[in-house]
Structure formats: C-alpha cells, structure tokens
Structure 1
Amino acid sequence: MILRQLLHSDPVALSYVVGCGGRAAAAVVDPVGDIAPYLRAAEETGMRILYVIDTHLHADHVSAGRALAEAAGAEYVLFAKAAVKFQFRGVRDGELLELGNVSIQVLHTPGHTPEHISLVVTDRTRANEPWFVLTGHTLMVGDLGRTELATSAEQGARALFQSAQRLKSLPDHLEVLPGAYSGSVCGRSLSGKPTSTIGFEKRYNNAFRIEDADAFVRAMIADVPPAPPQAAQIRAINSGMMAAAE
C-alpha cells in the first residue's frame, strides 16, 4: 500500500492519496486547494487516480474534488444520496471500491452532514482485515464533528451518535485518519496530532466516550462555535447549486 497524508493550513484540513503501487491504482480523499500536489503524488508513485472521494459536502472550503477528477480522468465519488446538481459516482453503505490489492469499504456515518461517509481501508497484501479508517469530519482526534452546518444541531447530533456507535464497533487497533486537526472550524477540542486509533479515542475522546444518546446530544449542541464564514454558500458551491466566484 501507498499512503500520503497532506496537511493543509488554509483551511486547516487533511487529505489523502491512498492506493496500490503494484496495481498502479489510487484514490484521493478530500482534496483541498491546488490539484497539482495530488497529480504529482500519483505520478511519483506510479499510480493512476481512479477515484476522487469527498467524504461529505464541505462547508469550510470549496472542494477540489471535481476539478481533480476531471484532470485525472477519475470518477468523482460521493454518498449516493448526496443532494447535488451534477453527475457523480454514488456509493452506498457497505460498498467496496477496489484499488488492486487495496480495498475501500464505505460506511455511511451521517451527523456532521447527512451524506457523510467514512472509508475503511484494507491492504490484502498485509492482511484480510482493515488497517485504518478515513473518518473525515465524523471522528477526529480529540472530538467529533459539529452537527449544525447542514441540518439542525439536534438532528445532526442524534445521527452522529449512531455513527459514533458504528465506529466504536471497529477494532481498537484500527488507525483513525481524520479530515481535520487542531485549528479547524469543524470541531472544538481537536488535537494537533493528525492520527490516532479507535481504541485511544474510545478511552480519551470526551465526546466519543459518551454512551447515552440524550447526554451526547446535550454535549454536542452546547457551546457550538461560530459557523465557518459563508458556510451555506460554500456548501451550495460544493453541491453545484451555486457557481464559485471567479
């Protein structure tokens, strides 16, 4: 397996290039900004980008996903029920995306947004069990994603509670590779460390530890920070319902 984690500071975000070097097949997850680094990473590792995946319709930055997919000749991937105005490859819960010896299983993990997905990644040259999960803005190191950017805060929190239970059921040793870290507007108590494990977050992530649904909702809707600037407009651009400013 080949994995590249890209850290961004404006906006504060994480994106990934993951794939199989032996079969020369890659996916890019949650690309931000200039598409050149992703194309260069694929070229340098001898892989062709087959899929460009956004874990959700972002509200803090305009996605580079569609532009990158077009430039790479790749499929642009979102959850099948994403409310957008353009053509894309829609994936459903449990679906597999194959990259040679690497497979990506889709988990629908709504709450931060209704269409949010996480991606459980297995390298079959190492083992037949998953190695890590790309959690977007659902589970991050130290916190869970805010819930009011695409729906009501309470509705989002109730959905996020169920998504957290699904993620908790994954093996404790599974690595967590999130879509944001400290400084992002999409969480409150985020760590500056950009990776963790399911087991560590179950023990030390205060929001992830909550086992009662009502207590979880109360915690998630308390002290919600200000929304990202122009959050609604950015989601509208990412859904194809509004044109990006030139």
Structure 2
Amino acid sequence: MLFRQYLHTNPIAASYLFGCGSQAQGVVVDPLEEEVDFYIEEAKKLGMNIVYVIDTHLHADHVSGGRKLADKTGAEYLLHRSADAAFPFTPVEDGEERMAGNTKLTFLHTPGHTPEHISIVVTDRTRGDEPWFVLTGHTLMVGDVGRTELASNLEEGATQLYRSLFEKLWKLDDHLEVYPGAFSGSVCGRALSGKPMSTIGFEKRFNKALQMKAQDEFVAFMTENVPPQPENFKSIRLRNQGKE
C-alpha cells in the first residue's frame, strides 16, 4: 500500500492519499479546495489513478475540494447516504465495503460531529485480512473528539458522538492506527495533540473524552468549555452542501 498524510496549516486540517500501488488505484480523503491540483500531481508521482474521493463529512471549517477533484479525475465522490447535499454523489452505507485494487475500505457511520459523518477502516489485502488503520475525520482525534454543535444541537450531537465512539470505534482492535482529520490548532477540538496519528488503544487509555464512559457524563463533558465557533462556519458548510 502507498500512503500519504498531508498536514495543512491554513486552515489546520489533515488530508490523505493512499491505495494500491500494484493496481494503480488511489483514494483521496478530505481534500482541500485549494490543493486539488496538488493531489493530482501527487497521484501521478506515485503512479496511481484516483478512483475514489471521499469526504468524511460536510465540513464547516474549510471548503472541500472533493467535488472539484472528482470532476477533474473522473473519480467517484463518496459521502454517507444521509448527507444533506444539493448535488449528486455516490452514497455509502454503514458497513459497506469498497475495493481500490487490493485496498479494502469499510465505512462506518459515526455521527456526532455532523449527522452524516463517516469513519473509514482500511485493510491492505496484500499484507493480511485484518484492518491496518482507520481514518476518523473529526469523530476521534488525537487527544480529543470533535465538537458537536456546528451542524446540530449541542446535546443531540454529543449523544450521537457517544454512540459512535463507544458502540463502533471502541470495538476496533487496539493496535489499529488512528488518522484524524485535524490536529493541534484546529477549532474543531479542545485538547488536540500536535502529533497527528495515534492508535485505538492509546486513545482508549489517554484521551480524556473516552474516560467518560457513562452517556450522561460524556454529554456533560462535551457541553463544557466549547471553543469559539469558526468564522463563517454556516456559510462554509452551506457551500460544501452545494447550497451557496
């Protein structure tokens, strides 16, 4: 498997390019609009064709390059089926699997940060049948979890996030690597680490949010010390929905 993590600083976000080198099939996750041509050039350098472009959610802190990148490359643009978008996309379901060459993608619906949020469990079939890592977007990040009021009610979002974390991501093997959609400095978390990857097991032990194992305790934790909202977040999300 070929794998690249890109750490962006304006805005602060992480995006990904990975896939099967032997069959030249690549996947881009959470691309930024201003970096579309960069992903195309990176894929060319790696000898890969981009077959899937995926947004883990409809962002409210930056403009997505997902649709533009898919248009330029002929790739499928994937979102969870519940995404409130005013444009065509390829819907994915909870538990659905897709192949990019020998790379298997398994989609988990993990709402909370936003209602349509997904996480992607990735398996390299050339190395084994067990998953290797999970792309968690803004559901689970290193040191924290995603805020819950940018696309829904604060408490409702926190309740959904609790279920996503403890009923889905918590059940993944501890050794799985975690690659989030943001890192320290992002407005989408409160105690984010500057280290942009972790493991499920490490976050279980040391992520403060994951120590709140009772739902009411977790919801109370998520509604305290909420950081300032991103500037123009409503307009940014509307643009990513194709409604502005």
Q: TM-score range by the shorter chain?
A: over 0.9
After TM superposition, list the pairs within 5 Å mapping 1:1-246 onto structure 2: 1-32=1-32, 33-165=34-166, 166-242=168-244
Q: Distance in 2 between matches of 1:12 and 1:135?
A: 16
- Give how far 1:34 is off: 2.0
Runs of 5+ in structure 1 lacking a partner?
none
TM-score normalized by the length of structure 1: 0.97
Amino acid at match of 2:106: Q
- State the percentage of identical aligned residues: 59
Q: 2:210 and 2:50 mapped to 1: Cα distance?
A: 33
Specify the SS of the correspondent of 1:34.
helix
Question: Deviations for 1:185-208, whole angstroms, at most 9, x for unmatched residues?
Answer: 100000000000000000000002
Could you tell me how far apart the structure 1 residues matched to 2:35 and 2:220 are?
39
Shift of 1:41: 1.3
CA RMSD of aligned residues (A): 0.6
Indicate the SS of the match to 2:86.
coil
* Structure 2 residue identity aligned to 1:118: S
Q: Which amino acid aligns with 1:227?
A: Q
Q: What is the alpha-carbon distance in structure 1 between the residues aligned to residue 73 and residue 10 of structure 2? A: 24
Cα distance in structure 2, aligned partners of 1:37 and 1:201: 31
**1:223, distance to aligned residue in structure 2 (A):** 1.0
Count of matched residue pairs: 242
Local SS of the residue matching 1:36? helix
Structure-1 separation of matches of 2:211 and 2:23: 39
Where structure 2 has 5 or more consecutive residues not aligned to the other structure, the ranges are none
Q: Secondary structure at the match of 2:38?
A: helix
Shift of 1:209: 2.2
Report how far residue 16 of structure 1 moved.
0.1
**TM-score normalised by length of structure 2:** 0.98
SS in 1 for 2:28: strand
> How far apart in 1 are the matches of 2:24 and 2:31?
19
CA deviation vs aligned residue, 1:111-142 (integer Å, no higher than 9, x gap): 00000000000001111000000000000000
SS of residue matched to 1:35: helix
